[in-house]
Structure 1
Amino acid sequence: MADIAWDDDDPFEEQRANTDDPMGRLFSAYGRPHILPATVGVIASIAARLLDLLPPVLLGLAIDAVFNDDAAFAMWLIPDAWLPAEESEQLLFVVGLIGGAFVLSAGFHWVRNWGFNAFAQRIQHDVRTDTYDAMQRLEMGFFADKQTGELMSILSNDVNQLETFLNEGLNSMFRLGVMVVGIGAVLLYYNWQLALVALLPVPLIAGFTYLFVKVIQPKYARVRSSVGTVNSRLENNLGGMQVIKTATTEEYESDRVDAVSSEYLDANWDAIGTRIKFFPALRLLAGLGFVLTFVVGGLWVITGSGPGPLTGDLTVGTFVVFILFTQRFVWPLAQFGQIINMYQRAHASAERVFGLVDESDGLEATGEADPLAVTDGSVEYDGVTFGYDGETVVENIDFEADGGETVALVGPTGAGKSTVLKLLLRLYDVDEGAIRIDGQDIRSATPTSLRRHIGYVGQDTFLFYGTVRENIAYGTFDADESDIEAAAKAAEAHEFITNLPEGYETMVGERGVKLSGGQRQRIAIARAVLKDPAVLVLDEATSDVDTETELLIQRSLDRLTADRTTFAIAHRLSTIRDADTILVLDDGEIVERGTHDELIERDGLYAHLWGVQAGEIDSLPEAFVERAAERRARADVDGDD
């Protein structure tokens, strides 16, 4: 397989590059509010691990004092007067302490797990909700460059990766930290010379781990990027399953899924290859300390004197403590690599999460934003120019709509009609000029207040998973039953809804799949009617209905638009012939404006478009036909407006 330019393919490369200290930010911004369960977990972890160290110490004491009589029976923090004198009682006393240590340790382990799990789960919730909240505030241009699967990968996989580290990683870090420090302290207390021998591999392990971190970090960044690519492909294909089946492209799509999955396999296997080499090497270095301790300590006990430069005595009990502790010491050192591994995965995920959170919403404000106050609902476009990625889409758009007027936008595919109205909703911000509602620049208003005054019905009708009633009331959640039914009647939807199996409580399915296109569109219109906006935007609002239904909807829309400012985009020109003003767009500019009759008399682009729909193909100028072919070819490449 050819090498993959991951930096170019990663849609969040720029966001990741602009994220500083993501893990520090995770703890400072999200960890601080939940410091209590984390503190409980840390204290319980320390207590549990110290209690885990007690049995080997007591065993060494029993061997030297009770069995071999090599040392006096004495214990830290316990007065000699409290200790039994008889050996059998001393043995039972030690056994009782060991049993008590196990019981207390089990209790602290439970508390420790509660603390770290509560800490991790609450942070996971906060990060996911904040990330989603930040994402839904972004300008629509951001989503044009990102696929749904990539965003889902951040909200799901990356956030879950953070939770894994905060729970398992932090838990293990404190557990192993206490074990290493505690064991090291005990060994140094018993015999500092032999302890130095046991701790000899520690500097080697630290240097080896540092090299591992430098190598593995970019590999995990590549893995996280490839996960988003896989999710995007799968989400895209599942959403287009009907097209795949009807086009019999199952094999082609299987190959495409295989390709992105292979890319993930290569990236993940590259990281795995580094990881599986590191851990055995780390265990080998950690095991070196155990072998050295066993050899040096064993010779010391056998010969009765320290080998080489080592001096003093070493009892059997102390040697047993060293063997048990060194064996326990080896495992934490080897597991330390796993913590580093989890940390690097979490670091790569945190970069993507905070890169998305920090993304600018792309909307510019003119002064301090205030709620929009709408009185008449008049709308003015003043020299509006806008483009994507440096390419102009609409240019020098100038018109006014008085309150209550209906303005229709028509033109060939790709002329910029939908873009003009998306600017009114501030789904994008203008590059030049201004849009005003009742004289107020919409950039000086909060986006939320602006959109509350505008009802939008788009050509791509989207219904949420839920009931018909919930979808009509979406955005107007306090509406009562009578208002919902009145809105449905206004949209000519009430009759078909009552004929559904469960009426208004019928589940519409994922994206409204259980309803026809026309039914979905009428529910979307009912949603806009219920909102009762001052300004109404209809972007091909009747594109998915038959002629009879269109007639009924048009009758309702006429009533609906009578007292509110309305903008309508329609390819069926018969639906907008009664508009107060018709704006004809071509290549992003207004080339004609007037009423239907005025534009027909002008015999320009509008008249030619009307002739196409009237079936007067033969009478159209050849230049218009050729231009239409050019526009269609360009639209197939660039996409519709």
Structure 2
Amino acid sequence: MSTDADPDSTLLNEHREDVSRPIVRLFTEYGRDDLHWFVVGVLASTMARFLGLVPPIILGAAIDAIFNDSAAYTLPVIPNAWIPATETGQFWLSAALMGGTMALAAVMHFFRQSTLNLFSHRVKHEVRTSSYQAMQRLDMDFFNEMQTGQLMSILNNDTNRLELFLDNMTDSVIQLVVLVIGIGGVLLWINWQLALVTLFVIPLAALFTYWFMSIVEEMYADIRETVGDLNTRLENNLGGIEVIKSATTEEFEDERVRDASYEYFRRDWLALRMNFIYRPGLQILTSIAFVATFIVGGLWVISGPPGPFTGNLSIGNLVTFLLLTQQLVDPLAQMSEAVDRYEDAKASSSRIFALMSIPVSIRSAEGATDLGDVRGRVEYDDVDFSYGDEEPVLHDIDFEVEPGQTIGLVGPTGAGKTTILKLLLRLYDVDSGAVRVDGHDVREVTVESLRESIGYVSQDPFLFDGTVRENIVYGAFDATDEEVERATKRAEAHEFIERMPEGYDTRVGERGVMLSGGQRQRICIARTILNDPSILIFDEATSAVDTETEMLIQRSLDDLTEDRTTFIIAHRLSTVRKADEVLVVEDGRIVERGDHEALLEEDGLYANLWSVQAGEMDALDPEFIEQASERAAMGVRGED
């Protein structure tokens, strides 16, 4: 199988090793507020299990006293004065007690299921929302390394497995503990010698379970990772279905999904094979206990105590032993499922808590202040930057922007233009130097106030699945209809929205798939206008649209940027012709600066780029062509 997701697994595994007692944390950190429901569920479950032990005891007493007439009719806890003197009365008392305890047990089971399920669902809800909140605040480096499928697996699959564990495992453990203690106590009270024959299986089952758990723990951790890998592959393919169809690579993708699915199957099958040994093994042990009880007890009733055994054993006592032993067989045999769910939940909760424990470096510093009213003066002071431990991608970035100015950033793909402005948004922090807004280092103001003052329109406009209106008011949720319409008119979007089937209430589909690229871009611009930021960033805002749409978008940009500090990243140099200053970036450095006319006169990189877009290939510098060829051969990082 492909190991595409190995970096994701490594990142989680590094932090998973530091997660201790994950199951305990579920109860202490996320179940604390609802612990009363858990306690009620435990008490109800305990009561239901104990009530289930009553009918066999009553039946054994009835057989000996009423049907076999070999002993007096007595019941534990029931005073002799309450017991009828006649056999008929004793018969009806037995029937009433068995029926009553069964009905009460059913009521207790209702309370058990209701309260334990409520507890488990609330814990699942809290864990899912907490893990999402933690994930959403992680640094961009994390999202660059992690794949969406892995994150969806944690937020969805892993949290659902916690619910299964809390729903079923708790009751299974209670059932096992109560029945072992309760049945063991009753059997020892009736006949301690025969009880030893029945209960010898308990320590053997415990040892067998310990061996099983020591083997499968890592198997379940591997399974959870392969689920994330498979989700990643499926999510990527569904998102890229248009590319797959246009390239007729269905068979290639079939094979990649088959490989990912087979790896999940293989690891799941390894764990299942261990279960195929463990579950029958437990059943064999419990069956041996039942058969041994029947043989020894039967011989005892027929011909007296066998071998070293002493004393008497009635038919009623033997029936009680067999019925209670059978009750013990089922929970012991089901212990494998409880262990399964425990190990599965332990692996899932470890991944969840590992995600939550990943440190966040981009956060508001202690004592950070709000920016307040932003004028829009921006300064880059000798900035250097690298992604993690990689080679630096920005060197000595130094420039100043006065309020209301428009700055263009141009250069080859991968030169670092987008990265420069992501430092302004503080999606990353500089390695050295400083980025300032109105004289404030962006690391010394609150992240929220910084980003609220900046509007960002990317080259890949993102729309949420919902209506046009919902996407426009995103971030300005209390905007009026008049304000929305005013913003769309400024973004040259109102007319095409009005022509849509349901106007502003038309659904746009996932990622805005129902709209064209230009329509999505103009809705994003309208959203930015509505939020009214003091600083604007347009990252290739017209790169994916036709010439007419570019003209419309450019008109809206000219209107929007009139009195705001604006940064425009552009490959189409016509977008930055009117900029107050153009910064030409190459290999992470500013190599030229000036307005459009001045840069053309320099006859440098900018002039060559302009010649390419104007179709004047004969005017290109041969050195520029050679450098462009080298860049294309080397490839570039995803960040521009």
Report the TM-score range of the alignment, normalised by the length of the smaller protein: over 0.9
Contact 1:364 1:429 in 2 (8 A): no
Do structure 1's residue 129 and structure 2's residue 105 form an aligned pair?
A: no
Q: Could you tell me which residue of structure 1 aligns to residue 71 of structure 2?
A: 71
1:100 alignment counterpart: 100
- d(CA) in 1 for partners of 2:538, 2:550: 13
1:364, distance to aligned residue in structure 2 (A): 5.8
| Cα pair 1:60 1:317 within 8 Å, conserved | yes
Residue matched to 2:151: 151
Check if 1:353 corresponds to 2:337: no
Is residue 639 of structure 1 aligned with residue 638 of structure 2?
A: yes
Q: Per-residue deviation at 1:307?
A: 2.3
Measure, in 1, the Cα distance between the counterparts of 2:76 and 2:588. Answer: 86
Cα deviation, residue 295, structure 1? 1.6
Q: How does 1:205-354 map to 2 (within 5 A)?
A: 205-304=205-304, 306-354=305-353
* Whole-angstrom distance in 1 between the partners of 2:528 and 2:363: 27
Is 2:634 aligned against 1:600? no
SS in 2 for 1:566: strand
Superposed displacement of residue 173, structure 1: 1.4
Q: Which amino acid aligns with 1:477?
A: F
Q: Which residue of 2 aligns with 1:516?
A: 516
- Distance (whole Å) between structure 2 residues aligned to residue 289 and residue 329 of structure 1: 10
SS in 2 for 1:404: coil
Shift of 1:398: 1.2
Amino acid at match of 1:377: G
SS at match of 1:327: helix
C-alpha separation in 1, matches of 2:323 and 2:6: 48
Contact 1:393 1:587 in 2 (8 A): yes
1:395-422 CA-partner distances (Å, limit 9, x unpaired)? 2211111211111111110000011111
- 1:6·1:222 contact (CA, 8 Å) conserved in 2? no
Q: Distance between the aligned counterparts of 1:452 and 1:638, measured in 2?
A: 28
Partner of 2:165: 165
SS of alignment partner, residue 313 of structure 2: coil
| CA–CA separation in structure 2 for the residues paired with 1:99 and 1:204 | 35
- 1:291 partner letter: V
Pairing 1:577-616 to 2, within 5 Å after superposition: 577-616=577-616
Secondary structure of 1:72's counterpart equals: coil
Distance 2:585 2:236 in 1: 32
Q: Counterpart of 1:585 in structure 2: which amino acid?
A: V
AA paired with 2:271?
Answer: A
How much has 1:361 moved relative to structure 2?
Answer: 2.1
Q: Percent sequence identity over matched residues?
A: 55
Q: Deviations over 1:10-36 (max 9, x none)?
A: 552223222222111111101111112
The answer for the alignment partner of 2:48 in structure 1 is 48
Higher alpha-carbon deviation: 174-183 or 568-577: 174-183
Distance 1:245 1:36 in 2: 54
Opposite residue 455 of structure 1, the aligned amino acid is G
Q: What does the per-residue CA deviation read over 1:589-618, in whole Å, with 9 as the maximum and x for residues that have no partner?
A: 111112222212222111211121122211
Q: Is the 8 A contact 1:10 1:225 kept in 2?
A: no
Structure 1 residue 211 displacement after superposition: 0.8
2:363·2:447 contact (CA, 8 Å) conserved in 1?
no
Q: CA deviation at 1:555?
A: 2.1
Larger mean CA deviation between 223-232 and 591-600 belongs to 591-600
Q: Which amino acid aligns with 1:171?
A: D
Q: CA deviation at 1:389?
A: 3.4
Structure 1, residues 83-127: CA drift from partner, whole Å, max 9, x if none? 211101100010011111111111111110001110110011111
DSSP 3-state at the match of 2:407 = strand
| In structure 2, distance between residues paired with 1:553 and 1:131 | 39
Give the gaps of 5 or more residues in structure 2. Answer: none
Cα distance change of structure 1 residues 308 and 446 upon mapping to structure 2, 3 Å threshold? farther
1:3, 1:290 → 2: CA distance? Answer: 49
**3-state SS, counterpart of residue 191 of structure 1:** helix
User: What's 1:455 paired with?
Assistant: 455
User: In the TM superposition, what is the alpha-carbon distance from 1:209 to its structure 2 partner?
Assistant: 0.6
Q: Which amino acid aligns with 1:355?
A: A
Q: Distance in 1 between matches of 2:564 and 2:417?
A: 20
Matches within 5 A, 1:519-538: 519-538=519-538
Q: CA deviation at 1:574?
A: 1.1
Which stretches in structure 1 are left out of the alignment for 5+ residues? none
Map 1:534-549 → 2, pairs under 5 A: 534-549=534-549
- Partner Cα distance (2:51, 2:293) in 1: 24
The separation in 1 between residues aligned to 2:208 and 2:322, in whole angstroms, is 25
Alpha carbons 2:468, 2:507 under 8 Å: kept: yes
Query: 2:64 touches 2:314 (CA, 8 Å); kept in 1?
Result: yes
The code of the aligned residue for 2:319 comes to: V
Q: In the alignment, what sits opposite 1:484? A: 484
3-state SS, counterpart of residue 203 of structure 1: helix
Residue type of the alignment partner of 2:427: L
Task: Tell me which residue corresponds to 2:115.
Answer: 115
> For the residues of structure 1 that align with 2:117 and 2:630, how far apart are their CA atoms?
61
Residues 11-30 of structure 1 aligned to structure 2 (within 5 Å): 12-30=12-30
> Which residue does 1:501 correspond to in 2?
501
Q: Is residue 16–residue 352 contact of structure 1 (8 Å, CA) maintained in 2?
A: yes
**Counterparts of 1:58 and 1:372, CA distance in 2:** 78
Q: Which residue of 2 aligns with 1:384?
A: 383
Q: Cα offset for 1:57? A: 0.5
**Do the aligned residues in 2 keep the contact of 1:300 with 1:314 (CA within 8 Å)?**
yes
Residues 6, 194 of structure 1: alpha-carbon distance in 2 compared, 3 angstrom cutoff: farther
- Over aligned residues, Cα RMSD in angstroms? 1.8
Distance 1:446 1:548, change over 3 A: same
Quote the residue 2:436 is aligned against: 436
Deviation for aligned residue 1:339: 0.5
- With structure 1 as the length reference, what TM-score do the two structures score? 0.97
2:362 match: 363
Show the counterpart of 1:393: 393
- Name the amino acid aligned to 1:481: D
Amino acid at match of 1:294: F
How does 1:383-422 map onto structure 2 within 5 Å? 383-390=382-389, 391-422=391-422
Q: 1:639 to 1:176 in 2, by over 3 A?
A: same
Q: Which moved more, 1:359-368 or 1:201-210?
A: 359-368
Change (3 A) 1:633 1:5: closer
Secondary structure in 2 matching 1:208: helix
CA contact (8 A) 1:381 1:435 kept: yes
Partner deviation per Cα, 1:496-540 (whole Å, 9 max, x = no partner):
111111111111111111100000000011110100001111101
Number of aligned residue pairs: 639
How big is each residue's C-alpha offset from its partner over 1:215-264, in whole Å with a ceiling of 9 and x where there is no partner?
00111111111001111001100111111111011111101111111111
